[in-house]
Structure 1
């Protein structure tokens, strides 16, 4: 009897193992898609009205921002889309123009964003610029090596705002979606 119970128990255990298992599909990894989004600050520039009044000529600020991250193969081979977000605030007494030029390695202009803003106080201007299927070409982002920012005073060099600490502030950030697998 005891031997029969052991055999019966082993037989039930074997049947449970065979009947409750499915064949494993290890090719499922091929169907897996991983597309994380990465967000980062691009630049922050602030120019006080007193500085603007001291600069002769209309260009009161020009600076090139190095952007080698766009040239990394990890990024350029995997980027699917992106959005650059800009916020511009003007509390000075001057109308201004901000020009952003996207440049490749030999300083060819790939794209230009222009912002015009009346003398302050004004509402904060926000602009989202999409790249990829729903926006501008991703090739612009992939080939960008630096961004040249030029701020132009469209007013005079003598007026002064009555607001506390009048300045022009430009902030930008970027969010990109990459395909990892």
Structure 2
């Protein structure tokens, strides 16, 4: 009998604790203060230029690879929400010549607004990667947002006759948004 009344006392105490727990009024206006900050990682550009593409009619040539349109910023909501962008580039050269590569960003009227130069050394038998990151924030971000075309200008440096290989680019973008 004693254990039954002991259970009854504990049960009553637990019930009182549950019923007298703390609570507060809900503030549904907090939804207006919510800021989402998604991060998007995407591919930007890729190419694999074979050494034979630098030779035309038996003569070595410079090569220009153009990406005619870059329409990421046509959507004004995306453009206004963009707070930061990081462009990542990785070049791998297996050609026995050095290269100077320039990424050129153009406006709607084909006016260059920004360029990113790369010096890629000649292949000498060991891994030959060039990695570069360019960060766009504040005023530099506004320049990036005005970009509608991207051109990669590739100039081959002097050296011995080309003996095979390729020049590869892998690039991506990390986009930081703020949505309200």
Structure 1 and Structure 2 fold alike (TM over 0.5): yes
Secondary structure in structure 2 of the residue aligned to 1:69:
coil
Contact preservation (8 Å) 1:42, 1:173: yes
Superposition pairs of residues 165-180 of structure 1, within 5 angstroms: 166-180=165-179
Secondary structure in structure 1 of the residue aligned to 2:55:
helix
CA distance in 1, matches of 2:63, 2:82: 35
Contact preservation (8 Å) 1:71, 1:143: no
Residue aligning to 2:27 = 25
Specify every segment of 5 or more residues in structure 1 that has no aligned partner in the other structure, as ranges. 1-15
Match of 1:125 among 123, 127, 130: 130
Match of 1:101 among 87, 101, 104: 104
CA distance in 1, matches of 2:113, 2:169: 21
Offset, 1:137: 1.0
Offset, 1:155: 2.3
Offset, 1:31: 2.4
CA deviation map 1:15-49 (0-9, x unaligned): x59x8542211111122210101111011011111
Residue aligning to 2:49 = 47
CA distance in 2, matches of 1:98, 1:51: 16
Residue aligning to 2:143 = 140
Secondary structure in structure 1 of the residue aligned to 2:73:
helix
Normalising by the residue count of structure 2, what TM-score does the alignment of the two structures yield?
A: 0.80
Flag the 1:157–1:70 CA change in 2: closer, same or farther, 3 A: farther
The count of corresponding residues between Structure 1 and Structure 2 is 161
CA distance in 2, matches of 1:30, 1:127: 39
Matched, 1:68 2:71: yes
CA distance in 1, matches of 2:153, 2:160: 17
